[in-house]
Amino acid sequence: MTIDKVIEAGKSIVKPDLPWYSEFGVVSWSIIICSAVLGILFCIWSCKTEKKVSDCFCIEDSNWRENWSILFICLSIVTIVFNILSSASKETDIYDAKVESWRQTVAKPFIESLPKEKKEIVYIKIDPELSEKVEGFSFWGTGYTTSSEVARTPLVISYKDQGIRTKTNWYETYMELTNDKKPYIEYQRVTKDLGHDIKAGDYNTKIYLPESYEFQEIK
């Protein structure tokens, strides 16, 4: 699959437009209708039984009927609002599930299928003060599409890539080269934003060093 097809597949994911009543079930409709009917009946009852006695300027107490009328009508309204909000929440859940499926079944395999580029490292040091909150180029946070048991190291590195590029981040390091080989960086480069928070950049970066290499801290 080409990068343009990956992007198009991501763009085809849209938030569903469910009817406002989509989450209204039998129970919800029963509560709404019964509450509304009872509220109206109590309201009518209250109006019919309310009598004004002009000679003593008093009114027959019908507040309890009015209170019940208000209670049932409010219950009906609250049930309607709750179900409308549930419908909106379901739209978001469906959309998020589709996006996650696209990330895992389309974007991730595409990135992992890209050729691995190798560049010679000309400078490397540990940065012990580097925050663990440094963001990568992707939805996966650090730029790695898979989890690994290899501990990541806070590094400042410079390497040859159409000139000299310098980057600071947490990287997986592998000390498995023979001493006569030069350190290098390996990564898979995404040249365009794929969408849904997956940005263009270098993914699955690995640093390869000689077995006897000793890190130095930046001072």
Instruction: Provide the CA 215 distance to its chain's centre, in angstroms.
Output: 37
Q: List beta partners, residue 177.
A: 210
What would the mean pLDDT of 152-177 be, rounded to a whole number?
89
Q: How far is CA 30 from CA 26, 61, 92, 96, 189, in A?
A: 6, 31, 26, 31, 57
In this prediction the pTM is 0.67
Residue 165: what pLDDT? Answer: 92
The identity of residue 74, as a single letter, is C
Residue percentage of the chain with pLDDT more than 70? 80
Residue 53: what pLDDT? Answer: 38
Residue 142: what pLDDT? Answer: 56
The tokens of 118 are what?
Answer: 């190798």
Residues 62-118: pLDDT tens digits? 576 777 778 888 888 888 888 777 777 788 888 889 999 999 999 999 999 999 999
pLDDT: which is higher, 120 or 15: 120
Which residues neighbour 144 within 8 Å (Cβ) at sequence distance 6 or greater? 136, 172, 203, 204, 205
Most confident of 110-114, 176-180, 193-197: 110-114
Residue 62: what pLDDT? Answer: 54
